[in-house]
Amino acid sequence: MIGQLRSTVIDCPDPRALAAFYAELTGLPLAEGDSDGDEWVVLGGPVGQHPRLAFQKAPDLRPPTWPDPERPQQLHLDVTVTDIEAAERAVLALGARRLDGEGEGFRVYADPAGHPFCLCWD
């Protein structure tokens, strides 16, 4: 092993707002001590504990245009849910929007900053 994953970092125009969205979606707590004002916001436990999500200010972000390859998704999060219908209502109420594309056991959404993510179920 060369190193240990520290965080998955998501660029966005408003790190605090997007961190609040993902805190509600995943239940990860705000790690205020690892955050830096409104420029860098971290969710999760201390360094070395997983998972950790960080949100970095990118005022000129050009969000992905799922599924258009002109601006690909680059990465996305899969979030496991037990009741897809209830989970969909909840993420839409938080500001997500449904995107085209779904398969057996998953649906695709965009977070409030435009990043794709999937709600998955078995």
User: What pLDDT score was predicted for residue 78?
Assistant: 85
Give the DSSP H or E segment for 88: helix 84-93
Task: Please tell me the predicted confidence (pLDDT) of residue 2.
Answer: 65
Return the pLDDT at 27. Answer: 94
**Which CATH number is correct for 8-57, 2.60.120.620, 1.10.8.60, 3.40.630.30, 3.10.180.10?**
3.10.180.10
Low-confidence ranges of the chain (pLDDT < 70): 1-3, 5
Domain locations along the chain: 8-57, 77-120
DSSP annotation of 39? T
Token digits for 34? 């690892």
H helix count then E strand count, the chain = 2, 7
* Strand, coil or helix: 93: helix
pLDDT for res 102: 83
- CA dist 120 and 79 (Å) reads 6
Q: Report pLDDT for 90.
A: 95
CA distance linking residue 74 with residue 67, whole number of Å:
11
